[in-house]
Amino acid sequence: MGPNVWTLPGILLFYGSNFTAEWHRHNALQIVWPAKLGLTDVEGQQHEGALLLAAEVEHQLSMEEGWVMLVEPQSTLGVALAEFLSGEPARPIDKLESFCSQEQGDIQQSAFPRDQLVPLFKALGIEWGIEWGIKLGGGNDFLASGGGSLDKRIHQLVQKLNACFGADCLKPDAWRAAEVASELALSESRFLHLFRREMNIAWRPYLLWRRLQCAVEEIHRGGTATEAAYHTGFSDSAHLSRTFRSQFGMTLRDAKSIFR
């Protein structure tokens, strides 16, 4: 199976080889599932094999081949993964052996690889669900990290952000805090406070994470780094690359081998 990348609202999934990520941290939970030799260093402690990392935990990664999944803590899947962690910065995923890449079969690049990930989520004790991403059903049924329903105004905003997946991402020029607050009939300070309270993350780093997801999607669809930077609101490709490296521990050029 060749390298691939998939993006869903709240989820960024990679399969590839020769992963090398320098020390970094991000606001997403991270699953590492090696097919071959994999070593994850978390706060000075080395782990081999499958591992789940909490958000904002500094780590580095070296893996010959395998899966890396980044999950928003605020998503339905993120809430379930946090329960598995039980407050730990990292937890090995026991009863999950390294898989043979030849047994994975061909994966359609446009389809989320559900079948290949079944053993992973079985080991995590999480049942597959169509609402793994941000939950936007008939009502305010998103499970926020605080355990309650998401405020309807933040629900509306997240729904609008999700709309860019599978289409052209919205340029962040229209996503300044003052502009978003005005659209939601809130003052800027009230919006920023409400967003942090509901999502357990400040607006600016959350938007940055979403912009990077959109940039990955743009490049995966064949766009250049310059085009991805323009469409996701970075000043140029160098700005995008610097931000990508700070968030993911690798350069955009190194990561492009995955986006095929």
CATH code, domain with 153: 1.10.10.60
pLDDT of residue 137: 36
pLDDT of residue 150: 82
Whole-angstrom distance, CA of residue 163 vs CA of residue 134: 11
Question: Could you read off the pLDDT tens digit of each residue along the chain, which spans 260 residues?
Answer: 555 888 888 889 988 888 899 999 999 999 999 987 788 999 888 999 999 999 999 999 999 888 999 999 988 889 899 999 999 999 999 888 766 655 555 555 557 788 888 899 989 988 766 555 544 333 333 333 334 478 999 988 988 888 766 666 656 566 889 999 999 999 999 999 999 999 989 999 999 999 898 888 888 888 899 998 988 889 999 999 999 999 999 988 888 776 65
pLDDT of residue 189: 97
pLDDT of residue 138: 34
- 117 and 225 part of one domain: no
- 27 and 127 part of one domain: yes
- 2 and 60 part of one domain: yes
Where do we find the tokens 């081998």? 257
Burial class of residue 127 in the structure, from the number of CB atoms within 10 Å of its CB (0-12 exposed, 13-18 middle, 19+ buried): exposed
Containing structural domain, residue 240: 137-260
Final residue belonging to a domain, choices 133, 164, 190: 133
Contact 118, 128 (CB under 8 A): yes
Contact 88, 54 (CB under 8 A): yes
pTM of the model as a whole? 0.86
For residue 38, what are the β-bridge partners?
A: 63
> What is the β-pairing status of strands 38-42 and 51-53?
unpaired
- 128 and 227 part of one domain: no
- 153 and 127 part of one domain: no
- 88 and 175 part of one domain: no
Final residue belonging to a domain, choices 107, 133, 159: 133
Final residue belonging to a domain, choices 72, 99, 133: 133
Structural domain total, the chain: 2
pLDDT of residue 191: 97
